[in-house]
Amino acid sequence: MVTGTDDSVSRRWVTGHHPRRVMQAAAPRSAAGSRAGHPRRVRASHPPDGHDGPIASPRHRHPSPVARALDLGHRLVDPLLRFNLVDRSLALGAQAFGALIPLLIVVEGAKPGNSSLADDLIERFDLGGEAAVVVREVFTATGGHSTVTALSVLVLIVSVLSFTRRLQRLYEETWGFATRGMRGTGSGLLWIAFFAAYVSLHPVLDHVVPPRGGVVLSLAGAFLVGLLTPYLLLGRRLHWRRLVFQAALTAAGIAALGVWSAIYMPRSIEDSASAYGSIGVAFAMLTWLWGLGIVLVVAAVYGSPAMRWKRP
């Protein structure tokens, strides 16, 4: 009779393997059996000493405040770099100086009364002394009257249309529309008519409403300009409701530009006028229009699909 010990010895003698090695060889079959419907029992891992719960995977750890701030800064700055904030804003400011300033002079001259663009600039920037005298010399026609010819009107319209086409290309690129080029001339003419009407009505309403209401009126006017400008220049290819956020950004930017103008522009115009005369006033106005170009570009980029506010 063979005992249990002899039986294990005989199996080891027949197979030529140690029982522990036989168990290791049979492990793949047991794993296959677990896949066939017999789940393996997994031992739960215990956290190290000093930890009360499971250890979080590195992929699920929350980023530090510094990392989140850097990520937010990258997401805010990268779209502006892709759309060339500095170059576009400088070009818009320069073209606005050569297009919008003459348009404002013509519109002010066509309005009844004795007010001029120089009076509006002196009042808006709170100028006095030599700076006010130089501004009157720059923006007031010699002899108290100006002569507007058909050729000058044509040159003015072409100049303003060049400005609107540059702004139109900015909106088309940020919203992903095909460029219309010269086909957008009609939209540019509509914008010129809207802007001339706005410039004519805004001072009249300023004198009607009380001072506190004037701030609300200015914000509402900036919002209207920020809404209708891309709506018209895009050829009404985009519903106006999708432009509300962009218009709000434009209004906020113009309000911030107004605060900066009240602090910076009076001193800048006075210093520039004292040092360089009439050309110094032009330098100061170019700086202000560059700020306006920055507002337009930032609002166009942040208020369009070019800015991905949500993480992909």
The pTM (predicted TM-score) of the whole model is 0.74
- Residue 224 and residue 231: Cα distance in Å, rounded? 11
How is the chain split into domains, by residue range? 85-302
Q: How many CB atoms lie within 10 A of CB 110?
A: 10
Question: What would the two tokens of residue 173 be?
Answer: 């690129």
Confidence of residue 36 (pLDDT cuts 50, 70, 90): very low
Comparing 124 with 37, which gets the higher pLDDT? 124
CB atoms inside a 10 Å sphere around CB 273: 25
- Write the pLDDT tens digit of every residue in 105-163: 888 777 766 667 888 888 888 787 777 888 888 887 655 555 667 788 888 899 999 99
How do residues 169-181 score in pLDDT, each as one tens digit? 999 999 999 988 8
Look at residues 290, 296, 295 and name the one whose alpha carbon lies nearest to residue 94: 290
| Rounded-to-5 percentages of helix, strand, coil across the chain | 75, 0, 25
Q: How many CB atoms lie within 10 A of CB 23?
A: 11
Q: Which one-letter amino acid corresponds to residue 50?
A: G
